Structure 1
Amino acid sequence: MPHSDTTPTYIPKSEFISYLDSYAERFRLRIRFGRRVESARYDQKSGRWIVKARNGDVLEEYVGRFLVVAAGENDEKVVPDVNGLDSFKGVVIHSSEYRTASAFKGKDVLVVGSGNSGMDIAYDLFEAGARCSIVVRSTIHIVTKEIWLFAMRLMKYLPISIVDNIILFLCYLRFGNTAKYGLRRPNIGPMYMKCYTPVYQVIDVGTYDRIKTGEIQVLPSLTSIEGSMVTFSNGKTHHYDAIIFATGYRNTIRQWLETDEGLIGKDGMAKNNYPDNWKGQTGLYCAGLNRRGLFGSSEDGLAIADDISKAYNLLMHVNGVKSDEKYKSV
């Protein structure tokens, strides 16, 4: 369902919520909020999927012919198992728990993780008067919002490889050699990574300039913690009052999906490579679980909708089936 011609490029929250409500109403989507899935299994006898979900104190049961697993890659927060973390004397939080930098004013804070969350938090801490360091282990593409918006427009007219070359050229003009300051770029271009992998570019909000001046220090991976002292892979040790882990999330699909029909692996991701990653047996599908980014999720969704539509129309033609979805509290 397209947006109207008068919709602005940056949609206000209220207008976007209205669009989602209209979308659900038009396509008669019966959305159940505030539920947590506890189990999903295929019942051989009935030929149906049985999903049990927790709604407060009530356990609900849903029964359907098809099950689409689109829970995404990010659900449960990840905190690395660092030797001696339990001995740390200061504050330890995950980025999902971060609310304001004011509590860290005048303190030494270590941010672990160099994605968008980590970079944004580091800059926020610096602005609030904290002495901030950031751990950067992996290669990253750092871009400006203006460069990225320009690149998105170019994608309508140019191949992705050319767009990536333009992005990298513009980024070099803006940032120079980022590796000089501990921010190495991947060998794969930023637009390709966004479209085909779960790794996204970092939109710089001012952090890079603070890194260049040394006001935010870039450090390698940490190896151990003892009290308030943190040791890094380069052998150096520093004192910190707080550690913020901006280390992402993992999915929890295999905690509740009891029957996978060979479609989803132990890591909660699709077992098969594209283009055979989205369809299993007995009406099971998965979307966005093949590490192909937003573009892959979109392709999966379109393929799944088309396949279910064909299967459903065939059932209606052969058996006169209209709807067999059931719901009850158990």
Structure 2
Amino acid sequence: MTDSLDRVAIIGAGPAGLATARALKALKIPFDVFEKHSNVGGIWDRSNPGSPMYRTAHFISSRTMSGHQGFPMPDHYPDYPSNEQILTYIQSFAKTFDLEADIRFNTVVNNVRKQEQYWQLESTHNGLTTTENYRWVVCANGTNWHPNRPTLKGEENFHGKIIHAVDYHDTAMLRDKRVLVVGAGNSGVDIASDAGFNAKQGYLSLRRGYHFVPKHIMGEPADVFGAKSDWMPMWLKQKSFGFLLRMLNGDLTRLGLKNPDHKVMTSHPIMNTQVLHYLQHGDLIAKPDIDHLEGNTVYFDDDSSADIDLIILATGYHWRIPYLNNLYFPWKNERPQTFLKIFNKDYPSLFINGFVETNGGAYKLFDDMAFLIANVIQAQKDNPLQAKTIQRYIEGPEPDLSGNIRFIDSARHTGYTNSRSYQKAMETMRKDFGWTEGYEKLAAKVGI
């Protein structure tokens, strides 16, 4: 057993883990990053076993709004970069800040458990299992690794093929097939659009109605356009943006879709109107929820049916921290309950980065989370009095992260976070404890 009591263990070398590594390096706090794959990038590396990435996937937030603090995406990138470009960007981030030397690639973390004043971490590399002790642990393994695969009524009698979206990688899977996509997350509508263009016939099954946001509004990326209305009160923003979507998209029921049963901005945004194009041309046909399967036929709850060769379940993912007993965090609807999506009130040396679902670009949020984690660790290491004050702070009331939005009542939206409100809450904590140094200075400290 090896003791690393003055070090931090970061689990995962995706964007959240790398952001944490940069912040710790800037404050000269030693760390090790554990990564099960042979390279950085997390889900954005299609060669990473279990990655849900498909060849046609693009970022749903714009290049302008999405890059890491102090490290913008290249100017030559398009408004919505491809998955290959995002992976290249992440790899460039790791190289620029010289983070790779502290990453243990091809190393799987099997178990982490508390042992008195440290965390005992068991990992396996090349068949050799090692146990080490760390004072701090940051969970940054990501949320899209464990598919939510519902069982469909009658699927044992279905003659076609059923897969989860995690196993969809290329449009070649769709050719000459009648394809039904189930679910309207951003992956679901992307895959449905692929089916509309490539399949013999595409279908999209949705339980409810949704708001479909175009990726460009008046020639600008939608999030850039939306940021210009941050001065508006939320009720006015919802009313004006809802009106704009109705003007742009018209009555979606004409395409066989249901009317949304919720206000705009009260659910995770669907950044896709390409799917409407294929619905308008009949290459994609909207269907309601599935009732049951029989033979080659899928029966829907409106008494309609369709003969289908391939069903793709874009039904989301279970959030998991597989190496950690669930007792270390309280969980609600598969979401760990933490202060500011970061801090564990019962275990102050255990942190999370990247387990947040929001309506804006994520990477800058990961940087803010990393900045807070690094400063709290530094306080616990060097300033016990301040560490006690921080502990009282995170044991206090949780700030409102909703942005005065009443999100729809679903498991996915448990603890859903308004990006701007979350940024403000983290900014308040930084100011309260005097952690106001900008990212440009932090970047200089790690040699950019």
- TM-score, scaled to structure 2: 0.59
For 1:167 and 1:245, locate their aligned partners in 2 and report how far apart those are by CA, in whole Å: 30
| Counterpart in the other structure of 2:249 | 175
Which gives a bigger RCO, structure 1 or 2 (Cα 8 Å, sep 6+)? Answer: 1
- Secondary structure at the counterpart of residue 38 of structure 1: strand
| Counterpart in the other structure of 2:110 | 38
**Counterparts of 1:181-260 in structure 2 under 5 Å?**
181=255, 182-185=257-260, 187-190=262-265, 193=267, 199-204=268-273, 206-253=274-321, 255-258=322-325, 260=327
**Counterparts of 1:1-16 in structure 2 under 5 Å?**
2-3=70-71, 7-8=75-76, 10=78, 12=85, 14=88, 16=90
For the 8 Å contact 2:197–2:278, the answer to whether it is kept is no
1:57 Cα deviation from its structure 2 partner: 1.7
For the 8 Å contact 2:214–2:222, the answer to whether it is kept is no
- Secondary structure at the counterpart of residue 17 of structure 1: helix
For 1:210 and 1:83, locate their aligned partners in 2 and report how far apart those are by CA, in whole Å: 28
| Counterpart in the other structure of 1:131 | 201
| Counterpart in the other structure of 1:76 | 146
Letter in 2 for 1:286: I
* CA separation of 1:203 and 1:61: change in aligned 2, threshold 3 A: farther
For the 8 Å contact 2:197–2:283, the answer to whether it is kept is no
Letter in 1 for 2:105: F
* CA separation of 1:266 and 1:120: change in aligned 2, threshold 3 A: closer
| Counterpart in the other structure of 1:19 | 93
Letter in 2 for 1:38: N
For 1:172 and 1:280, locate their aligned partners in 2 and report how far apart those are by CA, in whole Å: 44
For 2:240 and 2:148, locate their aligned partners in 1 and report how far apart those are by CA, in whole Å: 34
* CA separation of 1:183 and 1:33: change in aligned 2, threshold 3 A: farther
Letter in 2 for 1:257: L
Letter in 2 for 1:287: N
For 1:151 and 1:80, locate their aligned partners in 2 and report how far apart those are by CA, in whole Å: 33
| Counterpart in the other structure of 1:279 | 344
1:153 Cα deviation from its structure 2 partner: 4.7
Deviations 1:181-208 (Å, cap 9, x if unpaired)?
3153363433x65xxxxx342323x220
* Runs of at least 5 residues in structure 2 that lack an aligned partner in the other structure: 1-68, 387-448
For 1:311 and 1:163, locate their aligned partners in 2 and report how far apart those are by CA, in whole Å: 42
For the 8 Å contact 1:76–1:251, the answer to whether it is kept is yes
| Counterpart in the other structure of 2:389 | none
- Secondary structure at the counterpart of residue 53 of structure 1: strand
- Secondary structure at the counterpart of residue 158 of structure 1: coil
For 2:148 and 2:90, locate their aligned partners in 1 and report how far apart those are by CA, in whole Å: 30
1:86 Cα deviation from its structure 2 partner: 2.5
Letter in 2 for 1:307: V
1:133 Cα deviation from its structure 2 partner: 0.7
Deviations 1:250-308 (Å, cap 9, x if unpaired)?
1221x4212744x3327552235x54862233411223446556486565444323211
* Runs of at least 5 residues in structure 1 that lack an aligned partner in the other structure: 194-198, 318-330
Letter in 2 for 1:280: K
Letter in 2 for 1:241: D
For the 8 Å contact 2:110–2:122, the answer to whether it is kept is yes
Q: Once the two structures are aligned, what percentage of the paired residues are identical?
A: 21
1:152 paired to 2:224: yes
Deviations 1:93-136 (Å, cap 9, x if unpaired)?
22222233344333321111112222222222222242111111
For 1:234 and 1:96, locate their aligned partners in 2 and report how far apart those are by CA, in whole Å: 28
For the 8 Å contact 2:229–2:237, the answer to whether it is kept is no
For 2:141 and 2:288, locate their aligned partners in 1 and report how far apart those are by CA, in whole Å: 32
For the 8 Å contact 1:108–1:240, the answer to whether it is kept is yes
1:116 paired to 2:204: no
For the 8 Å contact 2:179–2:199, the answer to whether it is kept is no
For 1:104 and 1:5, locate their aligned partners in 2 and report how far apart those are by CA, in whole Å: 32
For 2:186 and 2:353, locate their aligned partners in 1 and report how far apart those are by CA, in whole Å: 24
| Counterpart in the other structure of 2:335 | 269
My pick for the range that moved more, 96-105 or 224-233, is: 96-105
For 1:118 and 1:208, locate their aligned partners in 2 and report how far apart those are by CA, in whole Å: 13
For 1:132 and 1:276, locate their aligned partners in 2 and report how far apart those are by CA, in whole Å: 38
1:86 paired to 2:169: no
Cα-Cα RMSD: 3.3
- Secondary structure at the counterpart of residue 230 of structure 2: coil
* CA separation of 1:143 and 1:3: change in aligned 2, threshold 3 A: same
For 1:267 and 1:32, locate their aligned partners in 2 and report how far apart those are by CA, in whole Å: 32
- TM-score, scaled to structure 1: 0.77
My pick for the range that moved more, 289-298 or 209-218, is: 289-298
* CA separation of 1:29 and 1:223: change in aligned 2, threshold 3 A: farther
1:76 Cα deviation from its structure 2 partner: 0.7
1:176 Cα deviation from its structure 2 partner: 1.0
For 1:22 and 1:78, locate their aligned partners in 2 and report how far apart those are by CA, in whole Å: 36
1:48 paired to 2:101: no
| Counterpart in the other structure of 2:382 | 313
1:156 Cα deviation from its structure 2 partner: 5.6
